[in-house]
Each structure stands twice: as C-alpha cells, then as structure tokens.
C-alpha cells in the first residue's frame, strides 16, 4: 500500500465525483431540464468545473504525482491512474493559466456564436471567432509539442493516443483511392435500392417500443441503464452501473433504430468496464476511436447485417404492421444500406461516411499545418464535397457550419469517427475467423459477440491503448485495408458491381 | 462593496453549486436513475456532501464570517447570508466533528434499518438504532442549547425559527380540545359522504393529462419547471428558474390530483423567490412551516374548495367521462373532503391530519424531554391513536414505523406540517377581508391570489421569518384559532353539525 497514492486518491475521488456531477448536469440538460433554467444552471456548472480543475491541478497533486511516479509498490491500476493524471497535468501545466481560462471563455462564447451563425446561415458571423479558436489551439499545441512534434499531431494524440499524421495520411489516402471510385461505381450501378418505406408517420410510442426492444436485444441492461429522448442522440455514464443513452424520433424510422443500436454499442463499452476500474481515471474507453469502433460496429457491421434481422424482423413488422407488412426482410436490409451522397455527416450511410471525415481531416490539416485561411474555408469545403461526393452544398448551414466540433475547439477529433469504423472492420475480419459471426447473429446469440468484445476490449478501460489492443486481438497493427475490403464486399454485393 | 464579503462569496458560491448538484442527484435518483446504480452513485454523493461541508465549515470561512458580522457596508441581502451562515457554523462548531460524522453515518444506516423493520413489520429491529439516534440528537441539542434552553426547543427552532414548546403546547392544546370532539361529531353525523367514485382504474396517461392541466392552472410554469413520477411526491429546485415536482398515479384519483396541487404550492413558493436571492443561502422558503403553509393552502383551502372546481370540473369530467360523467360537482367536492380516521398520516384528510401530527408532537416531547423509552413507543403510539382517532393500529408498519423522519434524525420536524395548515388558515381569513377569495376562484382568477402570496411571502425567501411575515400580513401574531375555526366551519357545513 502506497501512502502517497492514498493521499492522491482523495484528490482523484473528488475529481471523479465532480466529473460525475457534471455528467449528470449534461444529461439532465439534454433530456429533462426546463428551457428557462439554462442561465442560472450554467453558473452552477461553471463553479463545479472550476472545482474539478482545482481538484486535479494543484501543487499538492503535482508533488504527489511526482512521488508516485517513482513508487514501485503501486498496483498496475494505480500506476495507470498516475500516468493518466500526469499526462493531464503536463498538458495543463504547459499552458499559462490565464490563457487557458481565456480559451475556456472563448469556446463557451464560440458555441453560441456558431449556433447563431448556423441558424442565420452566415459564415462571416462565425469566422472571426473561429480564427481566434484556431490561433489558441495552435499556440497551445506548440507549447505542448515535444521533440519537434507537429502541432496537429499533438491534437490528434489527445483523442487517439498512438496516432499521428503519418498513420492517418496513409489511412485517408487508402480511403480516397478506394472509396471515391467505389462510390462512383455505386452511383453508376443499375441496381435501384428502395428505401421509401423508411419514411412515414411512425409514432413516437411505437418507435420507443421497438427501440427498447432493440437496445435490450443488443445487450443494454435496463437495471443499470436508462434510455431517454434528446435532440441529438448520445451516450453518457456516471459509472459502469449507470449508463444512459438517448435517441430521437423522426419521420425516418431508420434514424431512431440505428441511433439506438449505435448508442447501445457505446453503452456496452461502459457497462463492460471492470468494477475495479470504474470511478477511476482509467475507467473509460481507451480512446475516442475505440469507443466509436464499438458503436459503429454494432450499428453497421451488426445492425445493418441481414443475419442480425433474421430472428427479429417479424417483431419489427409486428410493431409497424401498416408500414412494413408488405416489405420483406431483404428489401428492408437493402433499404437501410442504401448509399447516397448527402451533405450532412450525421445522416450519412456507411459508404459515404468516411468521405465526410476525409474532407474534415484534410481541412483541419490545412488549417493547422498549412496555409488555409478561415476566409477560404467555405469555398474549400464546397470544392471537396464536389470532388469526393459529387455534390456541392449551396449554403453553409449544410456545409462548413454543420458540426459543433470546431466551435468547441475540438481539432483532431473527427478522424476518430473514421478510425472507429476501420478498427471495427479489422476486428470483424478477425472475429469471423474465431467464431461463426453471421451464424451467431442469425441464431440471435449476440451474447457470444458481446462477451468477446467485453473480454478483449471493454473490460480494460484505459489500461491499454487502442493500437495495442488491436495488435493483441488481431495479431496485426492497425490496417485500414480491412475497412476498404469490408465496404467493397458489402456494396459490391448490394449494387452488383464487378470486383 | 465589502471585500471580505466578496471573499466569503466564493465559498458561498461553491456551497451553492455543490448543493445544487446534490439536489439534482436526489431528483435523478427518485425519478430516472437505474436501480442498480445506487451503491456507486452513493460514493459520489458522499464525496460531494463532504465537499459541501468543507466549503461552509472551515477556518477561513469562520474568520470571514466574523469580520463580516461587524461590517456595516453589507447590503441587507449580504447581511442575511452572513447571518444564515453564522447560524449554520455555530451549529456545526458546537458539535465535535467526530461525533457529527458518526451521527451522519448512523442515520444513513438507520434509514436502511428502518426500511427493513417496516418491511418486516418488526419494531424490535429498529429500536436499538432509534435509541442511538435519539441519544445523539439529545446530546447535540444539549451542546447547542443557550441560556437554559430546553433540548426539544433547540430542535424545533431548526425547522421553525421563532417557535418553541410554549407556543406549540398552546397550539396543540387548542387542536386537542377542539378537533377531537369535532371528529366525534362528524363520526356521529347522519350525513353520508360518498367517495367511492374516486377509486377505480384511472389510467396513468389520463391522470397525467389532467395533472399537467391542474399544475398549469394553479400556476406551475413549465418553461421553468418539470413534472415527473416518483414513489413519493416531492418538490425540489435548483434555483428559481428550475423547479421540479413529482407525483404518483394510483387507483384513487384524488391522490394524484391533490398531490399535484400540493406540490405546485411548494413550487410556486420557489418560483416566487426574488432573482437577487436565488442561488444564495437566503433563497429558500422562510421555514418548513411556511413552505407547508403554501402547499397545504393550495391543496386544501384552494384545491378542496367548491369554487375552485367551478371553472374546471367539466375538464375533469372530459378526461374521465366513464368515471365522472354521472358525478356532479357537489358530490365530487364533498367526496374529496370526506373525513375518516385512518392510520396513515400521508393519506389523512384535512380534519384528521392535525391529530396525526398532535400524536407525533406529544411522543417526541416525551422522548426528548420526558421519560418515554423507545421500548414503550409502539404501545404509546397505539394508545394515542385510540384516544384521539378512535382506531388502534394492529401492526407497527401502519403505526410507529410509517414515517421515515425519525430514522433520519429529524425530531421537531412534524409540527411544521400542522403549523403550515394553521398559517394557511390565518392567511385565508385575512385574505378573505382584502379580496373576494371565493369569487376569484369561481372566476378562475388564481393569479390574483398567487400574486398576493408572492408579493407578501414568496419573494422574501429567508429574509423574514414565518412569524414576522404572519404579523406583517395579518396584523396578528400566530393565532391557531383560525385553523380550528376553518375546520369547524368547513366540516360543520359538510356534515350538517349544529354549531
């Protein structure tokens, strides 16, 4: 037993409790809080955030961390917590406190400015603020860069430890080379995929009924979880015994169905984290990309797989007899896989999704490392959509202003979405070797797949990074070719392309 | 501007934010949190409670409070905050920290023990723990007593500043002398009041529909408030722009109807607190009794008044055509006012309610100041129910174990419920002089009544105590005779008693 770690643990526990409170406020705000509460509740949140900052970032903690770093009596889990905390402290310490606070203030303003600009479809409203956000992030990255590290690499590493531009350039080059022509071939295909039956007057009650069924079927444990409604679906958790997902109910049925499966994928990760890790700094997903790998794995590789629907498609028809009794299983599965270029990332199908991310990656690199100016951003955005997806956004609301991320200062975050899909594909081809993947789906034995993922990924939290886990599980380093292979096989079959 | 107060304010703000977080956890636990979350979430709550304690109770705060107490540059609101904080500090300071923590631990255990004992209908399970709780509370009260103050007076003053046994003895003597015979007369009356139509298969959806209508009709502002479902109805708030009520839906319709009006009464108090007081130590109701006066005023004096239902009874019939279309307004109003002795306080009608409180007041006095031992409590409880209500509980679950309060260490709390009813009656007779009370109800002009209460009570928060407000509004000190008069008039009329 390390006495220093015990002292440090008091700070870690405070930080954990404050973090849980902040999570709860975020959940509450998105799901139930009254509209009028915002301003006064934000006072509360500002103070609690300050308390959190204070709990992890003070002289006492710094000296305890230093002492613990040399302490060989620490358990593996304790050492991992010290490592995470040390990284966080190093990050905060390299940035002058005043600049850090100014930036926090700027981004909270920036989100509001972005909302207004998006609402008014006016990029010029947002441009000056975005310029400032980028300047701060570049400055912070240069403070933090080690041994000639590039600024954008510093940012990427925050979301996906172990990844950098070199790896991602190779990844996105592969995508560009393979997916752009594949999408062209799909567009030229004579196969007409119907999905009109997915749009209609699906009642919220019915959508909720099938949504709860699906969540539970996929593995969501309602004794340790909650499902609610919010404007944008998300997953949050207080610990591994309290995991919460949200969805929304629209006129297109697939939106709620697949967002629920997606969020359940995130939720399974959180449920699966070991009891001795939850409520610690390492009791979270290994990385953004690994988290997205689980959600997108369940949403797409499982949820849009014909075998998945074999045992339960009748149930879906039962809930929507009017809308689906005439639609057969194959027509339904083909419909939810239809590929169509669109402007909005969050509504994209599996094939075009990676191109939305490719565009953002290229633009971020140009903004941070290259010479792209904020003024030229909307033009460049539109050019790239035209080049890769063959469509040109006519307004900034459906173009460069669609995502919240940049207003929050999140540069380097987008690649994780595509990485997640690619991790998932690599896992998929490996799992097909060690189990009868499609057979299990067809028999409704999802627990075998779930247990495998829990055993190999979920339980570890942040004890291992995503690249290490991939290597240990599949025997290979990260390999984007599996993702391309997956998309080619899937869409080649659906659109009857010659391969 | 006082620099010392500004320094103190940082601690006050932290305490406020932590308090808001704790409120939110409480709300969340009662309304949505998954069952399995309890144990881990209680870690979070324990830590946040400790942080709260630390924020208000430390040497820095003590010296700042001392400095502020002599500072004449403070505004009235600042001075009131300092006064509240000083009281809290004095209370905490007079109790050795170790004993305080032991007691906190004991009561958290005690609640669980009480739950089990109630479940198993076994008082002996709870008796040893209750004994300990009482010993602690007596000890704490003796630490805190000033100038020969009695221990139970110390406890009473915590919930109802300005009140003590002398005042309450007079109050409860009046109740005993007047209400016990009144209840006998009601029991002997030949008038049969029907309320069978209030029991049935009322669907949750319909109950919720009329519940939301009623809350809004009474004045609940859904842009700054939320209504949800929980096992026991309650009201909570984060500040005056976020006020939340709950209800439950049972087979007896009046339960949800009147619990919603009751909680809306509490909510109107919280909505009504001035913007410059909310999120401060004085931004709460003046006292427990004053808070209950508002909830019970709306529930009973307004909600069980025939005039209240004149504009809206048709709406109720519309929602429950099967159950109520044959029931006329008078039969409905009489039904919801039926007086019948029962064992359970929370289900009691307006007439018998005060006797439930009388019994608890007499028992608490005997436990704290007299010689009643915990062993003899169930017997004494049953004897008093027989004496005052004419019925004898056959088991402790419906007897001495029905309420949670004593397990939480809350002695001196019960009288506030009866005081609230009595405050309400005193206000009622005054308001009848300054406005056409029944006429306003009959015309659906509740805003006039609401504005009057906000103007005279709600807005002040804790700036004035309940006794002072009563005096300023009605021109009289607290006068329990109005309460007796109210019950005599109401039940005399309903049961056609000679007066």
Which chain B residue shows the shortest CA-CA distance from A13?
B47
Q: Rounded CA gap, A71 and A57, in Å?
A: 20
Q: Nearest-CA distance from A238 to chain B in Å?
A: 8
Residue the block writes with tokens 């009288």: B415
Test mutation, A13, A52, A238, A245, chain B, max B CBs within 10 A: A238
SS3 string, B75-134, reads CHHHHHHHHHHHHHHHHHHCCCHHHHHHHHHHHHHHHHHHHHHHHHCCHHHHHHHHHHHH
Tokens of B199: 């029991």
Q: Which residues, including other chains, have CB under 8 Å from residue A205's CB and lie 6 or more apart?
A: none
**Claim to verify: residue B172 and residue B140 sit in the same structural domain:** no
Q: Is A32:A229 a contact under the CB 8 Å cutoff?
A: no
Does B242 contact A41 at a Cβ distance shorter than 8 Å?
yes
Could you read off the pLDDT of A160-200 as tens digits, one per residue?
998 999 999 999 999 999 999 999 999 999 999 999 999 99
Q: At A59, is the secondary structure helix, strand, or coil? A: helix
A101 and A188 together in one domain: no
Domain, as residue range, for B28: 3-144
ipTM over 0.85: yes
Report which secondary-structure segment, H or E, holds A228.
strand A225-229
Are residues B313 and B441 in contact, defined by beta-carbon separation less than 8 angstroms? no
Angstroms from B24 CA to nearest CA on chain A: 8
Per-residue pLDDT tens, chain B, 499 aa: give them: 689 999 999 999 999 999 999 999 999 999 999 999 988 998 999 899 989 988 999 999 999 999 999 899 999 999 999 999 999 999 888 988 889 888 988 988 898 899 999 999 999 999 999 999 999 999 999 999 999 999 999 999 999 998 999 999 999 999 999 999 999 999 999 999 999 999 999 999 999 999 999 999 999 999 999 999 998 899 999 999 999 999 999 999 999 999 999 999 999 999 999 999 999 999 999 999 999 999 999 999 999 999 999 999 999 999 999 999 999 999 999 999 999 999 999 889 999 999 999 999 999 999 999 999 999 999 999 999 999 999 999 999 999 999 999 999 999 999 999 999 999 999 999 999 999 999 999 999 999 999 999 999 999 999 999 999 999 999 999 999 999 999 999 999 999 997 5
* Domain end residue (candidates: A113, A144, A175): A144
* Any domain includes A280: yes
Which residue of chain B comes nearest to A32, CA vs CA?
B226
How far does A340 lie from chain B, in Å, by closest CA? Answer: 39
H or E element that contains A469: helix A466-474
Question: Are B37 and B140 found together in one domain?
Answer: yes
Using CB atoms, which residue from A20, A44, A238 is nearest to B20? A44
Is there a single domain that holds both residue B175 and residue B114?
Answer: no
Of chain B, the end-to-end C-alpha distance in Å amounts to 61
Which of A25, A37, A43 shows the shortest C-beta gap to B224?
A37
The residue from B114, B144, B174 where one domain ends is B144
Q: Which of A18, A21, A41 sits opposite B238 (nearest CB)?
A: A41
CB-count exposure of residue A86 (10 Å: 0-12, 13-18, 19+): middle
Q: How far is B37 from chain A (nearest CA, A)?
A: 5
Lookup result for tokens 């015979």: B181
Structure-block tokens of residue A410: 């999140």
Contact between chains at A239 and B41 (C-beta distance less than 8 A)? yes
CATH at A371 = 1.10.1370.30
Mutate which of A19, A20, A22 to disrupt the B interface (most B C-beta within 10 Å)? Answer: A20
Q: Residues A235, A187: one domain?
A: yes
Whether A68 is in a domain gets the answer yes
Within-domain flag for B206: yes
Are residue A38 and residue A95 in the same domain, yes or no? Answer: yes
Q: Is residue A158 in a domain?
A: no
In a domain, A206, yes or no: yes
CA distance B34 to chain A (A): 5
- Residue B24 has its nearest CB partner, among A28, A228, A240, at A28
Tell me, yes or no, whether A156 lies in a domain: no
Best residue in B14, B15, B17, B235 to probe A by mutation, most A CBs within 10 Å?
A: B17
Domain count, chain B: 2
Residues A224, B48: C-beta atoms closer than 8 Å: no
Residue of A228, A104, A221, A185 lying closest to B226 (CA atoms): A228
**Residue A83 CB coordination number (10 Å):** 17
A109 plus A224 within the same structural domain: no
Residues of chain B neighbouring A241 (CB-CB closer than 8 A): 34, 36-37, 39-41
Question: Which residue of B12, B35, B47, B224 is the best one to mutate when testing the A interface, meaning the one whose CB has the most A CBs within 10 A?
Answer: B47
Q: Note whether B85 and B197 are same-domain residues.
A: no
**Contact status, residue A84 vs residue A282, Cβ threshold 8 Å:** yes
Beta bridge partners of B225: B243
Identify whether A160 is part of a domain: no
When computed from its CA atoms, the radius of gyration of chain B, rounded to whole angstroms, is 23
User: DSSP secondary-structure letter at B37?
Assistant: G
- Tell me, yes or no, whether B140 and B189 share the same domain: no
Q: Is A252 helix (H, G, I), strand (E, B) or coil?
A: strand
Contact B43 A279 (CB under 8 A): yes
| Residues A134, A172 share a domain | no
Residue B275 lies in a domain: yes
Residues of B with CB under 8 A from a CB of A: 13-14, 16-18, 20-21, 24-25, 28, 32-37, 39-41, 43-44, 47-48, 51, 221-226, 228, 238-242, 278-279
- For B225, phi and psi rounded to 5 degrees? -155, 165
Catalytic (active site) residue B263: yes
Task: Give the strand order in the sheet containing A225-229.
Answer: A225-229, A242-247, A235-239
Based on the fold, state whether residues B137 and B173 are members of the same structural domain.
Answer: no
Q: Do B34 and A224 touch (CB under 8 A)?
A: yes
The CA dihedral of A466, A472, A475, A480, to the nearest 10 degrees, is -10
Taking an 8 Å cut-off on Cβ atoms, the answer to whether B223 and A18 are in contact is no
**Residues near B495 by Cβ (< 8 Å), separated by ≥ 6?**
B185, B186, B189, B191, B193, B339
Chain B residues within an 8 Å CB radius of A44: 16-17, 20-21, 238-239, 279
Residues A171 and A65 grouped into a single domain: no
């Amino acid at each position: 037993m390390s006495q220093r770690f015990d002292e440090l643990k008091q700070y870690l526990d405070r930080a954990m409790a404050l973090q849980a409170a902040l999570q709860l406020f975020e959940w509450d705000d998105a799901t139930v809080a009254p509209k009028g509460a915002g301003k006064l509740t934000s006072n509360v949140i500002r103070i609690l955030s300050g308390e959190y900052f204070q709990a992890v970032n003070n002289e006492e903690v710094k000296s305890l961390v230093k002492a613990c770093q040399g302490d060989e009596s620490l358990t593996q889990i304790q050492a991992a917590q010290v490592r995470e905390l040390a990284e966080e402290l190093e990050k905060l310490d390299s940035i002058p406190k005043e600049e850090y606070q100014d930036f926090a203030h700027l981004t909270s303003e920036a989100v509001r400015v972005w909302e207004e600009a998006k609402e008014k479809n006016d990029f010029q409203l947002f441009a000056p603020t975005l310029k400032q956000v980028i300047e701060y992030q570049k400055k912070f990255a240069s403070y933090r860069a080690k041994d000639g590290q590039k600024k954008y690499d510093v940012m990427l590493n925050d979301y996906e430890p172990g990844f950098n531009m070199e790896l991602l350039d190779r990844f996105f080059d592969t995508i560009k080379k393979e997916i752009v022509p594949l999408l062209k071939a799909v567009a030229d295909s004579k196969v007409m995929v119907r999905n009109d039956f997915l749009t209609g007057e699906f009642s919220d009650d019915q959508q909720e009924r099938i949504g709860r069924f699906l969540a539970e079927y996929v593995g969501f444990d309602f004794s340790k979880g909650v499902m609610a409604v919010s404007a944008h679906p998300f997953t949050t958790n207080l610990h591994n015994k309290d995991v919460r997902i949200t969805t929304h109910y629209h006129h297109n049925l697939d939106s709620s169905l697949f967002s629920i499966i997606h969020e359940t994928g995130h939720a399974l990760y959180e449920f699966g984290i070991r009891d001795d890790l939850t409520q610690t700094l390492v009791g979270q997903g290994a990385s953004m990309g690994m988290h997205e790998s689980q959600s997108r794995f369940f949403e797409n590789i499982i949820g849009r797989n014909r075998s998945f629907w074999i045992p339960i498609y009748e149930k879906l028809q039962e809930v929507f007899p009017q809308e689906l009794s005439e639609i057969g299983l194959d027509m339904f599965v083909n419909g939810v896989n239809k590929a169509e270029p669109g402007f909005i990332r969050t509504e994209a199908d599996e094939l075009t999704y990676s191109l939305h991310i490719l565009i953002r990656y290229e633009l971020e690199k140009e903004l941070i490392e290259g010479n792209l100016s904020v003024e030229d951003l909307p033009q460049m955005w539109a050019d790239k959509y035209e080049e890769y997806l063959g469509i040109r956004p006519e307004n900034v609301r459906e173009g460069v202003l669609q995502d919240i991320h940049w207003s929050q200062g999140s540069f380097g975050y987008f690649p994780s979405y595509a990485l997640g899909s690619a991790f998932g594909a690599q896992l998929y081809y490996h799992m097909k070797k060690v189990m009868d993947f499609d057979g299990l789906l067809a028999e409704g034995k999802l627990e075998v797949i779930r247990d495998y993922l829990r055993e190999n990924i979920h339980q570890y939290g942040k004890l291992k990074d995503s690249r290490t886990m991939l290597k240990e599980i599949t025997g290979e380093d990260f390999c984007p070719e599996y993702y391309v292979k997956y998309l080619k096989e899937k869409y080649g079959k659906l659109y009857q392309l010659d391969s």
